[in-house]
Structure 1
């Protein structure tokens, strides 16, 4: 049935050890991938919710507000802070620029700023 295997005990034991080493390597890789996937899932579940509105901050002293964005805007830079709906409306009504991509002024009905 297994005629392709060597006939002597020494070579069979060598093959068995070699294959056992490979199975151990494969099992180690499987365990690492499972752990990474579990960590990613835990990270997705524990990720804080995106804020509804965000103000982009400028560079320099006091980091003045530059632009208002929706919380999920893809054009949002790295310097920003979350704001509530009322503050976002107040900033837009006060003349702060609205992002041209997510258009928070349209979403907040602040069109005559």
Structure 2
């Protein structure tokens, strides 16, 4: 049994859906890359394990009420000399790193 013929409208709808999905996937890959790089910055600056750096990054994002990707982009730009680290993010990063390094 063969499938019914598709109309040009159906094909256009499918192409548009695939285009949107592709854009979404590209954005997700870019966000993942920025977060991974930011974790690397925190590991280097804070001398902590990657799992701790992830927690620090997430907490800075939550406590500063900024999207994780934006905090990550800011950290990466700062580390590469392409931007400033906002004072509130710098303070929060310092607090979170101190907390992470405090013996329990």
**TM bucket by the smaller chain?**
0.3 to 0.5
Greater Rg, structure 1 or structure 2?
1
Q: Give the structure with the higher percent strand.
A: 1
Structure 2-normalised TM-score? 0.39
- The higher-RCO structure (CA 8 Å, 6+ apart) is 2
